[in-house]
Each structure stands twice: as structure tokens, then as C-alpha cells.
Amino acid sequence: MDQPKLERLLRLMKLLTANTTYNIDQLAERLQMSRRTVYRYIDTFRDAGFVIKKSGDCIRLDKESPHFRDISQLVHFTEEEAVILKSAIENIDDTNLLKQNLKRKLYSVYDNKTLADTVVRGKNAPNIRRLIEAIEERRQATLRGYQSAHGGEVRDRRVEPFAFTTNYVQVWCYDLESHSNKLFKTSRIGSVELSDTGWEHETGHDEGFIDAFRMHGGTRRRIRLELGMLAYNLLCEEYPLAERDLKPLSRGRWTLDTEVAGMAGVGRFVVGLLDDIRIVDSPELTEYIREYLAANASHI
């Protein structure tokens, strides 16, 4: 089997065993392949002995499949191993881009409970463990004393947690009050109370779109930037996911052509490097920066 096909199969396997379920169209979009190819790869898993389960139009690999446990053992770290690996990675110089790449790869294969005990520290760890339990058991939960960023409001939120972002910084939940998917920062949760009620809106669970600048939203807007050496290096160090959308333009210059959920994240990055970044055919970003500079002129 050629390497690209193997990589696509492994990416599909990760999606089919994730906490979130996907239908064929969603899998095809995330993997940037045709529906026909997705079906063909699923048949490959079935021929290899995996059990394919369907819930509505969503598909997943049954974790009780004959080979599933053997494969999971290959990528599972014990708690002691996780602590040693995390400690070694944290000792790498923060300016080294490999540090973020290593952490991202390591966290992608961590066992959830091990990750909560070794990566998340302090008062936040018990909340993460309860959220993990809610996700694994498909139960509703109440986020007690959640501190909203909008207006500083503190109140309880009844949700269906279903997925985490990198390093457990935020949790994707279906908010039962607004009937929509939202991201909640785990550091703003006072406590987590599990409910005996199971998920009632699983088909509506959707992780949504998070851009390279860690902003999320329901719409996507394309931006194009031309970056100098300084901007390029800082972008790669601060926002590693942006690397996939970078292309060399000429010696010492790069083009960033990507989609963003809003202008705030990329706008803050550009404002700090205006002398090393040129905005290319992105009028909405240009207008955002113009308004930002006007509003903050007294602070400059």
C-alpha cells in the first residue's frame, strides 16, 4: 500500500473512532476525498475484520472489533510513560517549533484519562475527568458557575459534552438552552455535575470550524497574506496549524492562503507585524485592521 493511501486510512480510522460521529458527507469533507473513496476505505476496514456500526446516517468503527484493541495497545501510553514523555517535551526550548509538533502528536494518541491526570493540573483536572466521563458514557452534564466572556455573566449551563480541543483547553458541547453547538473554556467552569440523562441531540453534535488562529465560528472567510521572514517564523511558532496553508513565494517571502472564522484572531497577529505583512485581496481584513487601529489610536 502506498504511503498517501495509508495516511488517509489512518486519518479515517481516527475519525471513525473519535468521540464525535460523522456521516459520509462529513468524512469526505474533512478528508478532502470523494464519497466513493470513503465508502471504498470503509470496505477495506470491513474486509480487514473491523465491525462497522451505523447510528442513523453516522458511521463508526466498533471498539470491540477483533483488531481494535491490538492497535490501541500500540499507541497507548501508561501514566508513567506519559509523565516522562511530557516532562521531556516541556524541557525543550519554547522557541523550538518541534516542541509543538511533538506535543500535538503525543496528545493525539494519549488515553483520555491519562491525559487529564498528566497534562491538566490543579482544580481543573476533576472537571476534565467528569467531562471525559460524560463524553464516554454519552451523558448530559451541568457546567456549574460557568464564567461567560460576554459581560462577565456567571451561571449554570446544561449541556451535552462531546469533544475537546487540543490540550483540553475547550470542550465542544451541545447547549440545551440555545439548541446549538458551543465551545466552553474548561478554565471558566466552576464544577461539573453529571446527569443520569443520556444524550438526546447526538445527531446535532458538530465540532464546527476552528481556524489556524484558534478562533471558531459558523462561517468561513478566505484571507491571503504575504509574509516576510519575521512574520513567517512567528506564525509557525505561535500558530503551527497555519503551516499547512503556507507556500514559499520568493526568497524570504511566503504566502498564507487560508480560511478564518473571523477577523479578530488573524487581525491581532497582523497588527503586531504591519511592517512585515502585506494583505492581499482581503478587504474585510483590511477594514477590520483600519477600524482596530482607529479605535486604539490613543493606546499606540
Which 8-state DSSP code applies to residue 110? Answer: S
Of the listed ranges 3-7, 156-160, 220-224, 274-278, the one predicted with least confidence: 3-7
Q: Extract the C-alpha cell encoding 19.
A: 468521540
Contacts of 43 (CB under 8 A, 6+ apart): none
| Domain boundaries along the sequence of the chain | 2-72, 79-119, 131-207, 216-299
Task: Give how far Cα 57 sits from Cα of 16, 53, 65, Å.
Answer: 13, 10, 20
Q: Which CATH architecture has domain 2-72?
A: Orthogonal Bundle (1.10)
Q: Is the confidence at residue 36, as pLDDT, over 50?
A: yes
Q: Extract the C-alpha cell encoding 65.
A: 472489533
Best CA proximity match to 190, nearest among 135, 142, 132, 137: 142
Region 139-150 average pLDDT: 90
Region 294-299 average pLDDT: 73
Of the listed ranges 1-5, 149-153, 240-244, 291-295, the one predicted with least confidence: 1-5
Of the listed ranges 6-10, 155-159, 161-165, the one predicted with least confidence: 6-10
Which range of 5-9, 94-98, 104-108, 158-162 scores highest in mean pLDDT? It is 158-162
Start-end of H helices in 110-228: 112-118, 124-136
pLDDT category at 237 given cuts 50, 70, 90 is: confident
* Residue 204 host element (H or E): none
Start-end of H helices in 32-178: 35-47, 68-74, 79-90, 97-109, 112-118, 124-136
Cβ neighbour number for residue 14 with a 10 Å cutoff: 12
Please report the pLDDT score of residue 11 as a whole number.
77
Please tell me the distance from the alpha carbon of residue 247 to that of residue 221, in angstroms, as a whole number.
19
Q: Looking at domain 131-207, which of 2.60.40, 2.30.30, 1.20.1250, 1.10.287 is its CATH number?
A: 2.30.30
Q: Is the confidence at residue 242, as pLDDT, over 70?
A: yes
Q: What is the mean pLDDT of the chain?
A: 81
Q: Is the confidence at residue 7, as pLDDT, over 90?
A: no
- Phi, psi dihedral angles at 243 (to 5 degrees): -55, -35
Q: Is the confidence at residue 249, as pLDDT, over 80?
A: yes
Please tell me the distance from the alpha carbon of residue 130 to that of residue 117, in angstroms, as a whole number.
12
More confident residue, 48 or 222: 222
- Phi, psi dihedral angles at 138 (to 5 degrees): 55, 55
Of the listed ranges 68-77, 141-150, 169-178, 203-212, the one predicted with least confidence: 68-77
Please report the pLDDT score of residue 53 as a whole number.
84
CA angle 215, 201, 262 (to 5 degrees): 15
- Contact in structure between 242 and 201 (CB atoms under 8 Å): no
Q: 13-32 pLDDT, tens per residue? A: 777 776 567 889 988 888 88
Q: Where are the beta strands (DSSP E) in the chain?
A: 22-23, 52-55, 58-61, 139-147, 154-164, 170-175, 180-185, 191-198, 209-210, 216-217, 221-227, 246-250, 253-260, 277-280
SS3 call for 255: strand
Please tell me the distance from the alpha carbon of residue 144 to that of residue 223, in angstroms, as a whole number.
38
Q: 272-291 pLDDT, tens per residue? A: 999 999 999 899 999 999 99
Of the listed ranges 102-106, 163-167, 202-206, the one predicted with least confidence: 102-106
Please report the pLDDT score of residue 92 as a whole number.
67
Q: Is the confidence at residue 142, as pLDDT, over 90?
A: yes
Q: 175-233 pLDDT, tens per residue? A: 999 999 988 999 899 999 999 999 999 999 988 788 888 888 778 899 999 999 999 99
By CB atoms closer than 10 A (0-12, 13-18, 19+), residue 44 is middle
In CATH, what number does 216-299 get?
3.30.70
Contacts of 7 (CB under 8 A, 6+ apart): none
